[in-house]
């Protein structure tokens, strides 16, 4: 009976996809939990909190990793809920691009697509560079005591290439395997985070309890130079707010796998919201115990980028436990990059399906039912952007800004759309208030992200904006058809849908 019910749900999912003018080419075998695990792992909470804690602490002290974290979580959850409501009505692999096109027009959708693709490019590339660095420091250095201090640029290039190739192979071989890896990663993350919390609980300094929400301006040298010295309280708050906004993002990957998820109209919004909520709660617990474990908060702040490793070294725990935490962190980071490539490749596949990119990228492997050309192309692009280190470092730091921009574009399109429809997941009277929180929070984060030390992003952002405007008005406005949005356009696609599905089923 359960199998029959699942078959009925998949059949309804396929009929829904047909109504948007698309064929069921990808394999719809991912469960709701698998979709949640993918979203949770791409957030990368466990390892990302640890290697980025200095962004919050070296800005506003204890308040930066407690109170400001909670504010950022409100914005992130509001954004996930707003996007979830849209995904319920339009459960397609196009995600943000398709939503913006249907609700805001072809040009708005085309711009959203490119910003979303840029966000994925630097998010996946940045994650995999982090995997390489974590593997060197934690696995090879801390666990196996191998000295890699002589390794240089080309070692990193080779290491990142191997990481990306393996992740692309996993993506190529099917969504079910990837879902299992995501689920395994979720358990590893929870186990590693629980162990880390347990380790730090043994190092608690009771005096810190009374100061958990104290504000201390650690900007400048006092915070290891993570951000420039400033007396502007709003900017200090903004610098600290970048911590949760860098971490709790990219959950739109759940939407990009809508065409591979069973009961996507219900499963996808739940996955995005629950992954953001779990990350918010677990991240807060981790940051609180890390704060309580600091013997000398001022000294830890001054360590800057070495804040977590210094704190971890000071903790009293058996070497075997520390080794497990280190390996779990590397595994979590690796799986984060792998599922990030999933979202990136599906966004690329969907955009090329509507001729926004070369149509070769919309081809699907008949054996594995995955967009193989898109997967390998995205992996190669991610490797290439890491080769010019200065530009890569700046744009990777701006990843949260790209995500906030494309999230805001999709939410604004929905808020002002006259033709908006709703799926089974609805926010009701909370819809517009949450949308306003998401958009205003995103605008503030973009402003903060364009301040020193990442002020160079202004030039990149202006350049990207100019390229998008020239590209749209100069070329794509006449050429790019966009997704089928009218009844006649969708009817015209029905014969093509039948041909594509017959080709897949007959392979």
Residue 227, pLDDT score: 94
What is the secondary structure of 46-62 as a DSSP string?
HHHHHHHHHHHHHHHTH
Asked if the model's pLDDT at residue 390 lies above 80, the reply is no
- Cα angle 36, 1, 34 (rounded to 5 degrees) comes to 10
The model's pLDDT over 353-380, given as tens digits with 9 standing for 90+, comes to 999 999 999 999 989 999 999 999 999 9
Q: Which residues lie across from 30 on neighbouring strands?
A: 261
User: What is the predicted pLDDT for the residue at 388?
Assistant: 85
Task: State how far the Cα of 64 lies from the Cα of 80, in Å rounded to an integer.
Answer: 22
Taking the mean position of all CA atoms in its chain, how far away is CA 31? 20
Structural domain spans, the chain: 30-498
Cα-flanking dihedrals φ and ψ of residue 177, to 5°?
A: -60, -45
The confidence score (pLDDT) of residue 494 equals 86
Q: Which residues have CB under 8 Å from 25's CB, separation 6+? A: 259, 364, 369, 500, 501, 504
Least confident of 227-231, 305-309, 397-401: 397-401
**d(Cα 298, Cα 257) in Å, to the nearest integer?**
44
Q: At what angle do helices 389-397 and 457-471 cross, to 10 degrees?
A: 90
Which H or E run includes 450?
none
pLDDT at 505: 72
Q: What are phi and psi of 227, to 5 degrees?
A: -130, 155
Answer whether 75's CB lies under 8 Å from 247's CB.
no
Over residues 40-60, the pLDDT tens digits come to 999 999 999 999 999 999 999
- Residue 179's pLDDT band, with cuts at 50, 70 and 90, is confident
- Quick check: 181 pLDDT over 70? yes
19-28, 48-57, 362-371, 383-392: least confidently modelled range:
383-392
Query: Which pLDDT belongs to residue 507?
Result: 57
The mean pLDDT of 419-448, rounded to a whole number, is: 95
DSSP 99-127: HHHHHH-HHHHHHHHHHHHHHHHHHHHHH
The answer to whether the beta carbons of residues 279 and 107 sit under 8 Å apart is no
Q: State the virtual CA torsion across 429, 434, 440, 442 in degrees, nearest 10.
A: -150
96: helix, coil or strand? helix
pLDDT score of 397: 80
Work out the number of other CB atoms within 10 angstroms of the CB of residue 485: 18
**Mean pLDDT (whole number) for 264-276:** 97
Place of tokens 């990059």: 337
Residue 393 has pLDDT above 80, yes or no: no
CATH number given to 30-498: 1.20.1740.10
Nearest CA among 44, 38, 152, 120 for reference residue 381:
120
Q: In the predicted model, what is the mean pLDDT of residues 262-269?
A: 97
pLDDT for res 466: 96
Q: Are 186 and 271 in contact (CB under 8 A)?
A: no
- How far is 42 from 503, CA to CA, in rounded Å? 32
Q: Which range among 8-17, 198-207, 221-230 shows the weakest confidence by mean pLDDT?
A: 198-207
Q: Answer yes or no: is pLDDT of 186 > 60.
A: yes
Contact 75, 435 (CB under 8 A): no
Range with top average pLDDT, 146-155, 317-326, 430-439: 430-439
pLDDT at residue 175 in the model: 84
Angstrom distance (rounded) from CA 287 to CA 65: 6
What is the three-class DSSP state of 326? helix
| Angle between helix 233-247 and 431-449 (nearest 10) | 110
pLDDT tens digit string along 479-490? 999 999 888 888
């Amino acid at each position: 009976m359960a199998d029959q019910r699942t078959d009925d749900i998949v059949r309804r999912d396929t009929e829904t996809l047909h109504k948007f003018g698309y064929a069921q080419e990808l394999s719809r075998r991912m469960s709701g939990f698998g979709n949640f695990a993918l979203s949770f792992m791409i957030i990368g909470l466990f390892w990302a909190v640890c290697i980025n804690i200095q962004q919050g602490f070296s800005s506003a002290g204890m308040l930066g990793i407690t109170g400001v974290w909670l504010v950022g979580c409100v914005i992130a959850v509001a954004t996930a809920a707003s996007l979830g409501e849209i995904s319920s009505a339009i459960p397609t692999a196009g995600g943000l691009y398709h939503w913006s096109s249907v609700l805001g027009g072809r040009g708005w959708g085309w711009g959203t697509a490119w910003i979303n693709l840029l966000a994925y490019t630097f998010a996946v590339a940045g994650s995999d560079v982090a995997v390489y660095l974590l593997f060197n420091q934690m696995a090879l250095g801390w666990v196996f005591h191998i000295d890699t201090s002589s390794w240089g640029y080309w070692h990193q290039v080779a290491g990142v290439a191997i990481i990306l190739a393996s992740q692309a192979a996993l993506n190529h071989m099917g969504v079910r395997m990837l879902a299992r890896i995501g689920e395994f990663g979720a358990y590893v993350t929870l186990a590693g985070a629980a162990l880390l919390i347990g380790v730090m609980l043994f190092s608690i300094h009771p005096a810190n309890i009374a100061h958990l929400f104290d504000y201390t301006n650690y900007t400048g040298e006092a915070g290891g130079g993570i951000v420039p010295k400033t007396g502007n309280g709003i900017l200090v708050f903004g610098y600290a707010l970048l911590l949760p906004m860098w971490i709790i993002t990219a959950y739109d990957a759940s939407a990009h796998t809508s065409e591979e998820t069973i009961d996507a109209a219900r499963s996808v919004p739940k996955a995005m919201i629950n992954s953001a909520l779990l990350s918010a709660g677990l991240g807060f617990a981790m940051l609180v115990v890390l704060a309580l474990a600091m013997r000398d908060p001022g000294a830890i702040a001054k360590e800057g980028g070495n804040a977590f490793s210094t704190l971890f070294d000071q903790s009293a725990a058996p070497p075997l436990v520390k080794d497990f935490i280190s390996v779990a962190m590397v595994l979590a980071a690796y799986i984060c990059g792998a599922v990030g490539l999933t979202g990136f490749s599906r966004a690329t596949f969907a955009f090329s399906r509507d001729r926004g990119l070369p149509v070769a990228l919309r081809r699907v492997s008949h054996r594995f039912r995955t967009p193989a050309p898109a997967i390998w192309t995205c992996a190669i692009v991610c490797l290439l952007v890491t080769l010019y280190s200065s530009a890569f470092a700046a744009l990777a730091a701006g990843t949260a800004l790209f995500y906030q921009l494309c999230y805001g574009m999709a939410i604004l399109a929905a808020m002002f759309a006259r033709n908006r429809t709703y799926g089974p997941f609805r926010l009701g009277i909370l819809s517009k208030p949450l949308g306003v929180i998401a958009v205003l929070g995103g605008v503030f984060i973009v402003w903060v992200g364009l301040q020193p030390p990442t002020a160079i992003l202004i030039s990149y952002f202006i350049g990207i904006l100019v390229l998008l405007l020239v590209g749209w008005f100069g070329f794509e406005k006449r050429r790019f058809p966009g997704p089928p949005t009218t009844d006649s356009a969708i009817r015209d696609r029905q014969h093509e849908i039948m041909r594509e599905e017959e080709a897949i089923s007959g392979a």
